[in-house]
Structure 1
Amino acid sequence: MSTTSPTSPTRTSNRTWWIVGTIGVAAMTALAIWFGIAATSGKVHWVNTGFDVISDEQIDIRFDLRRDSSQAVVCDLHALDEHHGRVGTGQVTVPPTDESPSRHIEPLRTASRAVSGYVDTCTYADTN
């Protein structure tokens, strides 16, 4: 007599669901990674690195850009007063450069004394 037992239907069913589940999770993970890379590839990325209040009429805004260095970039700058009201807005065009990331300091004129300044958005100049 043989002592081996045939595989039970319940055991086979559980194994099938584990395989299907593992394949599903792997496919969804790959899809999420693909969407993440596709959403950020070729875009302008900026990091606000600080500001210096120069006077009641000017603030210097510091930021770093990571982008296709062969293209010009347009950035929107904003300055806020102590009540979070906007006291300065402007645009700056950053020309193509040999390196990315690159560091920038841009002056912004203000209507009254600003207490903070930042880059709101940056886009490639040809998309404006």
Structure 2
Amino acid sequence: MTTQQLLDERYGRRTSRRATRAWWITVAVVAVAATTALGWSTVATSMASVDADATGYEVVDERTVTVTYQVVAPTDATVACALEAQDVEHGVVGWRVVEHAVQAGQAQAFTDTIPTVAGATTGLLNSCWFA
């Protein structure tokens, strides 16, 4: 017998099996609830996301850049996309937000023009979201 068991027996301290069981049940319920909440959060976030990829750009002249990109959304909706034009030093010289209606699950390609305030060297798709 260990010292702790001897002291518990001597002074009448005992851990109740009922209390121990209740504690483990509580821990299990909290663990299952946390796992369920995390799983649902992950699924809900992925269902509400828009997938967008830039496929090309063209510097038309000193004041204009065109950006070609494709968008895939999980539902029929209007999607807004932020496009930007950058100069040699990666400074933003043009910015535009455009909206397009997209069909669920289908990749749709778009080409939009960005007006610039200075000479640009590249055009980028910054991000897309549900409008």
State the Cα distance separating 1:11 from its structure 2 match.
Answer: 7.7
How far apart, CA to CA, are the structure 2 residues paired with 1:33 and 1:106?
Answer: 37
Superposed CA deviations along residues 15-69 of structure 1, whole A, max 9, x for unmatched, are 443222111100122223334444555x351322443334443232313221422
AA in 1 matched with 2:107? S
In structure 2, distance between residues paired with 1:31 and 1:110: 45
Counterpart of 2:79 in structure 1 is 73
> How far did 1:79 drift?
1.9
Structure-to-structure mapping, 1:12-91, within 5 angstroms = 12=17, 13-39=19-45, 41=47, 43-56=48-61, 57-69=64-76, 71-91=77-97
1:55–1:113 contact (8 Å) kept in structure 2: no
CA contact (8 A) 2:67 2:83 kept: no
- Report the RMSD for the aligned CA atoms in angstroms: 2.9
Whether the 8 Å CA contact 1:44–1:65 is kept in 2: the answer is: no
Q: 2:52, 2:128 within 8 Å by CA — same for their partners in 1? A: no
**CA–CA separation in structure 2 for the residues paired with 1:120 and 1:96:** 15
Letter in 2 for 1:82: V
1:107 aligns with 2:117: no
Q: 1:46–1:114: structure 2 CA closer, same or farther, 3 Å change rule?
A: farther
Where does structure 1 lack aligned partners over 5 or more consecutive residues? 1-8
Aligned counterparts of 1:100 and 1:17: Cα–Cα separation in 2: 47
Question: TM-score if structure 1 supplies the norm length?
Answer: 0.63
Q: How many residues align?
A: 113
Q: Which amino acid aligns with 2:66?
A: I
Q: Report if aligned partners of 1:88, 1:108 keep a CA contact under 8 Å in 2.
A: no
Identity %: 18
